């Protein structure tokens, strides 16, 4: 039994699912030859992989069967997500649709929206992007200025969203817009969510390249974009509540501490083929101890959420601790990579992943709400005024 298996010992009922996804990943990689990716959920876009993963039953796990999914629990999805991240699988294409939009549709979507989108999401070929942040509204999302004005039979959208992941591939965008005038006394009131096909006239998607040159983000401009009433997701005026209600799932998942796992595991595997000195052994032990602790914390939050209980504060804690660990682990990995080289092991694969890890690491603590802001949320939740 590996260390990772041992730390998963508290979820026996999920063991068959873990075995199934591991087998799928080994066979799929052997056959199609994808390379393990660091931060693959953000950058490794492979539509064919997503379709194969879905055909094998590993996308849409929590979507009910009558909408094309498997009708399983969030804990089943947690285990599959862990294994995908550890393997560095190219999951970016279906990631946001499966992780964020499917639960939102199940919680707030109309029957028409669910029937239209959920089977496509579960089939792994529906790409959806989240349009919340704006230039003037990141941490302070309530400052968002994108507005939707009621017109005959629908709404007219105007404004510009920033940092919209995957919008250039997306079939539809989930957009947060103001549907009533701002009220300084109630800053979170008057927002609504819309599901808008990307090809709708008036939408312009412009790339924002990362410093690595990768195209992941976009700026999305809406100029007099008309959408019918049935484009509203959930209730008019309830956008804020809807957006924040789903955040715990987003913040506490294994992607908050396993983004660099393929790199760390490649290093540990290489080192374990040799007799390591005491310092190296201590560093590896330190890394593993942190991963294991974070995993237990994250899994405890997932268990709470699966019961339908609130875990918003603990989710913020997982995100803060987990993403800080991810960043630190990249520099620890860089030091250990030198040890691997000195042992005469091949380092091409490690060097490839380390380069991406270093370029992506600054984003770990920003996405999903910055850590500084989450610490404030946590402190206030513990009673600080």
Ligand X SMILES: Cc1cc2nc3c(=O)[nH]c(=O)nc-3n(C[C@H](O)[C@H](O)[C@H](O)COP(=O)(O)OP(=O)(O)OC[C@H]3O[C@@H](n4cnc5c(N)ncnc54)[C@H](O)[C@@H]3O)c2cc1C
Q: Which residues are catalytic?
A: 250
Which of 126, 305, 369, 377 binds ligand X (CB under 6 A)? It is 369
# binding residues, ligand X (CB under 6 A): 19
Is 248 a residue that touches ligand X (CB under 6 A)? no
Is the distance from CB of 193 to CB of 232 less than 8 angstroms?
A: yes
Which of these ranges, 69-77, 244-252, 290-298, 360-368, lies near ligand X under the rule CB under 6 A?
360-368
Sequence-separated (6 or more) residues with CB below 8 Å from residue 24: 53, 56, 58
Closest CA to 262 of 240, 291, 286: 291
Is 329 a residue that touches ligand X (CB under 6 A)? no
Give the whole-angstrom CA distance, residue 155 versus residue 226. 6
Which of these ranges, 17-25, 66-74, 162-170, 245-253, lies near ligand X under the rule CB under 6 A?
162-170
Range list of H helices, the chain: 3-7, 15-32, 40-43, 47-55, 74-87, 92-96, 102-108, 111-122, 239-245, 247-252, 261-271, 278-306, 312-342, 348-364, 371-381
Angle at which helices 348-364 and 261-271 pack, to 10 degrees? 140
Is 145 a residue that touches ligand X (CB under 6 A)? no
Nearer to ligand X, 41 or 108 (CB): 41
- Measured from each CB, the residue nearest to ligand X is 138
Give the whole-angstrom CA distance, residue 192 versus residue 45. 30
Is 131 a residue that touches ligand X (CB under 6 A)? yes
Which of these ranges, 44-52, 124-132, 219-227, 340-348, lies near ligand X under the rule CB under 6 A?
124-132
Which of 372, 377, 378, 383 binds ligand X (CB under 6 A)? It is 372
Nearer to ligand X, 56 or 373 (CB): 373
- Residue 343 φ/ψ, nearest 5 degrees: -85, -5
Is 370 a residue that touches ligand X (CB under 6 A)? yes
Binding site for ligand X (CB under 6 A): 42, 129-133, 138-139, 163-165, 363, 366-367, 369-370, 372-373, 376
């Amino acid at each position: 039994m590996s260390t990772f298996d041992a730390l998963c010992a508290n979820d026996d009922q999920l063991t068959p699912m873990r075995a199934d996804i591991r087998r799928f990943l080994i066979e799929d990689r052997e056959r199609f030859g994808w390379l393990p990716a660091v931060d693959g959920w953000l950058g490794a876009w492979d539509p064919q992989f997503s379709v194969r993963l879905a055909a094998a039953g590993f996308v849409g796990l929590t979507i009910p069967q009558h909408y094309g999914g498997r009708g399983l629990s969030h804990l089943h999805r947690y285990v599959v997500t862990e294994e995908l991240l550890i393997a560095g699988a190219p999951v970016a294409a279906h990631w946001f649709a499966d992780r964020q939009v499917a639960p939102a549709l199940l919680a707030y979507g109309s029957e028409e929206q669910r029937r239209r989108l959920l089977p496509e999401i579960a089939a792994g070929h529906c790409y959806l992007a989240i349009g919340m942040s704006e230039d003037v509204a990141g941490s302070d999302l309530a400052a968002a200025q994108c507005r939707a004005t009621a017109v005959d039979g629908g709404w007219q959208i105007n404004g510009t969203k920033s940092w919209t992941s995957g919008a250039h591939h997306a079939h539809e965008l989930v957009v947060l817009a103001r549907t009533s005038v701002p009220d300084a006394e109630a800053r979170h009131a008057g927002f609504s969510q819309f599901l808008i096909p990307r090809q709708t006239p008036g939408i312009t998607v412009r790339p924002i390249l990362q410093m690595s040159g990768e195209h992941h983000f976009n700026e999305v401009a809406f100029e007099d974009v008309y959408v019918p009433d049935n484009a509203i997701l959930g209730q008019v005026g309830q956008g804020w509540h809807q957006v924040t209600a789903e955040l715990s799932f987003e913040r506490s998942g294994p992607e908050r501490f396993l983004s660099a796992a393929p790199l760390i595991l490649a290093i540990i595997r290489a080192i374990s083929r040799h007799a390591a000195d005491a310092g190296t052994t201590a560093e590896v032990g330190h890394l593993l101890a942190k991963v294991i602790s974070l995993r237990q914390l994250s899994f405890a939050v997932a268990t709470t959420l699966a019961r339908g209980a609130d875990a918003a504060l603990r989710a913020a804690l997982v995100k803060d601790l987990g993403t800080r660990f991810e960043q630190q682990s990249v520099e620890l990995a860089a030091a250990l990579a030198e040890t691997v080289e000195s042992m005469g092991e091949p380092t091409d694969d490690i060097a490839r992943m380390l380069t991406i890890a270093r370029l992506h690491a600054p984003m770990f603590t920003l996405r999903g709400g910055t850590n500084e802001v989450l610490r404030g949320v946590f402190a206030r939740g513990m009673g600080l005024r």
